[in-house]
Chain A
Amino acid sequence: MSGEESDFNQSDQNDWLEIDPQTEIISVISPDIVEPDVIPPKTEKDDKNKNKNLNLSPGSAAKRKKILRALKDGVDVSELQSFAINRGGLLTNELRKQVWPKQLGVKLSEITPKPDEDMLHGHRDYDQVVMDVNRSLKRFPPGMDDDERFALQDILVDVIMRVLVNNSELHYYQGFHDICVTFLLVVDEDVAFAIVEKLSQKHLRDFMDADMDRTKHMLNYLYPIIDKASPQLCEYMERAETGTIFCLSWLITWYGHVLNDIKHIVRLYDFFIACHQLMPIYLAAAIVLYRQDEILETECEMCFIHSLLSRIPDNLPFEQLISKAGDLYLQFPPEDLASEAEFRSQENDNRAKRQRANGVAKLHQWSWRNNIRWVSTHMPNYGRRHYLLTTAVAAVVTAALCYSTTDWGWIEWNWF
C-alpha cells in the first residue's frame, strides 16, 4: 500500500494550517460572546416564551440564536457543522429541519419528483424494504396512533424506494430503513428523501455496494483505535474473539437501530452528518472504552462480550462520548490507522479462507485501489478541501470541548 493510495480522508497538514483553530473554538463554544439579535423577536417576552416552550436552558437558547443567525446570514456550512458537532448539537427539530438540508447541500427547490408507483414497486429490493418497514414499529413514537403510523410507514417505503430507483448503483441493506425513518420523523417526505439520497452518495455509500466488503473494512478500524487507547482492553476483546459484528448495526444505522430514545438518535445524526464517514466507528470505540470495566469483568468469551456490548444502555453520557469520539479521531486519524486496519482485513480474510478449507467461494479482497473511489465520490459537492477544513475545525472544536470542560449538565433536550 502506498501513501497516495491511502485513505478515507486524506487530510494533509496544509488544510489544517490555513485555519486558526483557536479562533474557531472560541467563536463556537464561548457562550459569552455578545451578539446582536439578528432575528428580532416580536417582543422580548415572545422570545423568552419560545425558549421556555422549547425547554432550552440559557446556554442552549443562546446557541439557538446563533444557529438562527447563521442560517439567516447565508450558508456558511462549516459554521453549521460546528454547531452540529458541539455540545447539544442542533438542539431542536425545528432547527434540524433547516440545518440538515444546508449541511448536505440539499436544495429544496431542486428535489427530484417522485417516480410513479410502478417504478417504485418494481425495484429488486422492494419486497425486502416492505418486510423491514413492516417490522419498524419500535422506531415510531409510542403514542402515535395506528393510522398515522401506517401512513408514515407507507411514506417510508416510498422514501427508500425513491433513493434506490434514482440511484441504480445503490443496493438496499437492512438498516437503511432505520436511517430513513429517523429523518422522516423530523422532516417532510420530500426533504427526507433528498437528505437520505445525499447521504447515500456520501457517508452511507460504502454500505450500499452489492456486497459488504467495504462495510467490513470500515469495521476493521475499530480495534486499532481501541488498541491505541487501551491495549489491555483490546487484547482482552481479541482474546475472546469478540469480532466486530456487535457494532455492525451501530455503524450502518448510525445507532438508529440500537438506541431507544429518539432524541439521542437525532443528536448523533447531527454529529455524523457533520463528520467523516468513519465517525460512527470512533464513537463505537468511545463507547467500548467507556464500558471497559464492565467488559473486563465479563468472562473472556465472544458470546458474553458480544451480548454485553450489542445492547447499548440508555443512560450513557452521549455528549461526553461524542467529545471522546472527536478526540479519538484527532489523536488517531483514519490515515494513521489505515495500514493496521488493512492488516486486519487480510487477517480476517485469511482466517475465513482457512475456515473454508475447500474454498468454494473466494471473498472479494479489499484493496486500497478500490478505495480511491472514496475520495472522489464521497466528498460533498462543495469541494474536498472545504470538507476537510470543516472536518478539521469540527474535530478541533470537539477535542477542545473535551478538554475544556467536564460539565455537561447544561445540555437540554427538546423533542416533539
Chain B
Amino acid sequence: MSSHQSIDQSREVKPSSGAVKIVEKQAQRRIFKIIVIGDSNVGKTCLTYRFCSGKFPDKTEATIGVDFREKTVDLDGEQIKLQLWDTAGQERFRKSMVQHYYRNVHAVVFVFDVTKMSSFENMPQWIEECDRHNLDKNLPRIFVGNKCDMKDKIAVNTNLAQKFADSHNMPLFETSAKDDEKANHVDAIFMTMAHKLKNAKPMMSPHMSRYTPGETREVINVRASPHHRGLQSINPNEEKTDNCAC
C-alpha cells in the first residue's frame, strides 16, 4: 500500500462519458495510517470522531468491524493526511476480524476508559495483539485514558496508568472526547503523533510501500509528573498545548 495519494483533480469526469480522464498530479500527499484499539465502549469512536469532525458525536453506535476516518493536517506547511482506523472493541472481532487492518500501520493508539478498571487491565492483551500481528515494536504508540470529564468516577489512578505506559515506552495522555474544553487536547494528541511520524522519516520516497522505522529514531516518551501531566508538543510554536491535569 502506498503512503501517498495523488491529488486527482478530475474526479467529476465519469469514465462512462467517454471523456479522456485527465489526471493532474498536483502533489504527492503523505498519508499516515493510525490504528485505534482498546476495549468496547472506551470511546475510540468518539475520540476519532472528535478529532476528524471537531465535535462529540450525539449518537454513537457500537462499531462493527472497522470504521475509517481521515483528516488532513498542515504540518510545517506540508499537507499530511491522517487515516484513523477505528476498530471494534468486542473480543470476538479483535480475535478474527481486524487483522487485515494491522497491516501497514504507522502508529497505534491504545485507548482505555479511566472510569473502568477492566479496560485498563485488558491493555496487556491489546499490546499482545499488536505483537501477534507482528507490528514493529518501534512504531509510535500512545496510551490514551479517555472520559476524564467524569471526575467523580475515576477508577484508574494516574500513577498506575503512567507506570504501565512507562514500562511500554509510551506516552500517556488523559483526556476526554466529550468535554468541549478538551477538544484542543484531543487534537494535540493526534498532532503529536503526526509530528512524530513526519519527523521520523521526512523524505519518504513516493513509492515506499511501508513506513519502516529506522533504528536511530527516538521513541516518543512524553513524561510528566502526575501534577503536570499531558502533552508536550514537538514544536511548541506550532501546536498550542493544553496541559490536561485530570
Q: Please list the residues of chain A having a beta carbon within 8 angstroms of any beta carbon in chain B.
A: 128, 131-132, 135-138, 171, 173-175, 177, 210-213, 215-216, 241, 243, 245-246, 248-249, 252-253, 257, 293, 296-297, 299, 301-303, 306-307, 310, 352, 355-358, 360-361, 363
Q: Are B100 and A135 in contact (CB under 8 A)?
A: no
Q: Are A213 and B96 in contact (CB under 8 A)?
A: yes
Complex Cα–Cα for A217 and B241 (A)? 47
Residue of B nearest to A357 (CB): B134
Residues in B with CB closer than 8 Å to A216 are: 96-97
Q: Are A138 and B95 in contact (CB under 8 A)?
A: no
Q: How many inter-chain contacts with C-beta < 8 Å in the A-B complex?
A: 100
Q: Are A293 and B15 in contact (CB under 8 A)?
A: yes
Residues in B with CB closer than 8 Å to A138 are: 59, 61
Q: Are B2 and A301 in contact (CB under 8 A)?
A: yes
Residues in A with CB closer than 8 Å to B33 are: 303
Q: Are A355 and B103 in contact (CB under 8 A)?
A: yes
* Closest beta carbon of chain A to B102's beta carbon, Å: 8
Most buried by A among B61, B93, B132: B61
Interface size class of chain B, counting residues whose CB lies under 8 Å from the partner chain: 35 or more
Complex Cα–Cα for A132 and B62 (A)? 6
Q: Please list the residues of chain B having a beta carbon within 8 angstroms of any beta carbon in chain A.
A: 1-2, 5-6, 8, 11, 14-16, 33, 40-41, 59-68, 70, 83, 88, 90, 92-93, 95-103, 128, 131-134
Given contacts A213-B96, A299-B5, contact A307 B68 (CB under 8 A): yes
Complex Cα–Cα for A252 and B5 (A)? 32
Q: Are A248 and B132 in contact (CB under 8 A)?
A: no
Residues in B with CB closer than 8 Å to A136 are: 61
Complex Cα–Cα for A280 and B99 (A)? 23
Q: Are B97 and A245 in contact (CB under 8 A)?
A: yes
Q: Are A212 and B93 in contact (CB under 8 A)?
A: yes
Q: Are A131 and B62 in contact (CB under 8 A)?
A: yes
Q: Are B68 and A303 in contact (CB under 8 A)?
A: yes
Q: Are A174 and B90 in contact (CB under 8 A)?
A: yes
Given contacts A301-B5, A356-B133, A360-B132, contact A171 B92 (CB under 8 A): yes
Q: Are B64 and A257 in contact (CB under 8 A)?
A: yes
* Closest beta carbon of chain A to B63's beta carbon, Å: 8
Complex Cα–Cα for A171 and B90 (A)? 12
